A = this chain, B = another copy of it.
Amino acid sequence: MTPLPAPRVRMGMVGGGEGAFIGKVHRLASALDGEIELVCGAFSRDADNNQRTGALCGLASARIYPDWQALLEGERRLPDEERMEMLVIATPNHLHVPIAEEALQAGFHVMSEKPAALSLAEARRLSHTLNASGRLYGLAHTYLGYPMVWQAREMVRNGQLGTLRKIHVEYPQGWLGDALETQGNKQAAWRTDPALAGASGCMADIGTHAFGLAEFISGHTISELCAVLGTHAEGRRLDDDGDVLFRTAQGASGTLMASQVCTGEENALKIRLYGDQGGLEWHQMEPSSLIHRGLHAPLRILRAGIDQPELSEAARQRLRLPGGHPEGYLEALANLYRDFAAGIRRSDSGQAAGVPGMTEGLHGMAFIETVIASQHSERKWTPLPAID
């Protein structure tokens, strides 16, 4: 009855050299469940860093490539049973689409850091490439891998909140309170550089997470919004903060706040949803708890754990440990990788079940562009373009 063990999925990585936080995160998370193996990489334009990172990952030097083009070329020539199957893109934003397109066209599945693209138009082009390729595309919306996020979504779907009225999502961080980009912080530098990050800073980086979380749990589509963006550090060129009012096509309204200048805040993504029958509240920094408020009942705290009887199957499948044994961010991302590997094994195409992909990518880009349009508009409401 137990499925036969499958060989590990072979993965390559572009970007994520030493010093880039997110590359290591992808390596740890993809390794956690033992279903994916890193076989090659082009980690950094700095040859030294590239070699060092590859060596630390235990890669043969032949599989450490000087750049992503060489990687695609080199892997394409390898025999089927050695060749990488999926490529993780962990570069600054401007390279996401160029690499993804070539990788898909070369027959590789792609797991990309977000945002999917620099513009909605670019994302649409990528979407067509994806459809033509018959391959899988995943987007690292890590927070959509958290078990209690799935639990919340199931409860909304099951009607436990009744008709949704309000959605409030916020994502305060404080790390860009200073002009870090002028102080030698590499991540701050590229994230505030329009050429590398795109037309938005904070909203593209974390606003999209908040947006994606709201749409994912609620099942609603945000249809119009009113945004105010801010830029606070001296000389900064992109938004580091924004407040948004929104309405959904299904009739709810709410607010979205994303900021990187909330001094002292770490990574405090939080969502609340209220329906006419109940409310839910989830904090990413205490991800094992889901607060459930009823109409005429005391507040309950649902807790993560494979042994928690009240959890949905969707939540339980994404847990590894019993109640009271905290799982966190890496486990959430590992859930996306596990589902992506399962999609590869099933020979799915387009989007792997359980993994955010092109749909979320297109919505996210539409969000970013609409936020920017709204920021420059004097009208209260700016509609989001339809994504088909």
Contact = CB atoms under 8 A, between A and B. Distances in A.
Contacts of A247: 228
Interface residues of A, number: 100
A299 B257 contact: no
Interface string A362-388: 000000000000100111110000000
A243 B272 CA distance: 14
A8 B245 CA distance: 50
13 contacts: A5-B55, A232-B276, A243-B253, A259-B274, A261-B276, A264-B274, A264-B279, A264-B294, A266-B324, A267-B323, A298-B310, A299-B303, A320-B330
A333 to B, nearest CB: 10
Given A2-B56, A298-B310, A32 B31 contact: yes
A88 to B, nearest CB: 15
Nearest to A58: B5
A4 B56 CA distance: 7
A230 B167 CA distance: 13
A326 B330 CA distance: 8
A300 interface: yes
Interface stretch (A20-28, A96-104, A211-219): A20-28
A254 B230 CA distance: 10
Interface of A: 2, 4-5, 7-8, 18, 21, 24-25, 27-28, 31-34, 52, 55-58, 161-162, 165-166, 168, 170, 172-175, 177-178, 226, 228, 230, 232, 241, 243, 245, 247, 253-255, 257, 259, 261-268, 272, 274-279, 284-288, 292-303, 305, 307-310, 320-331, 374, 377-381
A377 B381 CA distance: 10
Contact of A274 (B31, B168, B175, B261): B261
Contacts of A4: 55
Contact of A303 (B266, B272, B310, B331): B266
A310 B296 CA distance: 9
Most chain B beta-carbon neighbours within 10 Å: one of A247, A262, A264 = A264
Given A28-B320, A243-B255, A286-B326, 18 more contacts: A8-B58, A28-B32, A31-B31, A34-B58, A172-B272, A173-B324, A228-B245, A262-B272, A266-B305, A267-B322, A267-B324, A285-B288, A287-B326, A296-B309, A300-B300, A301-B301, A327-B328, A378-B381
Complex copy number for this chain = 4
Contacts of A267: 322-325
B327 A232 contact: no
Contacts of A245: 226, 228, 243, 245
A288 B329 CA distance: 12
| Interface SS majority for chain A | loop
Contacts of A2: 18, 52, 56
Contacts of A275: 263
A308 B324 CA distance: 25
Contacts of A232: 165, 276
Residue in A28, A57, A298, A377 with the greatest tally of chain B CB atoms within 10 Å: A298
A178 B307 CA distance: 15
A299 B264 contact: yes
A301 to B, nearest CB: 5
A34 B27 contact: yes
Nearest to A264: B293
Contacts of A5: 55-58
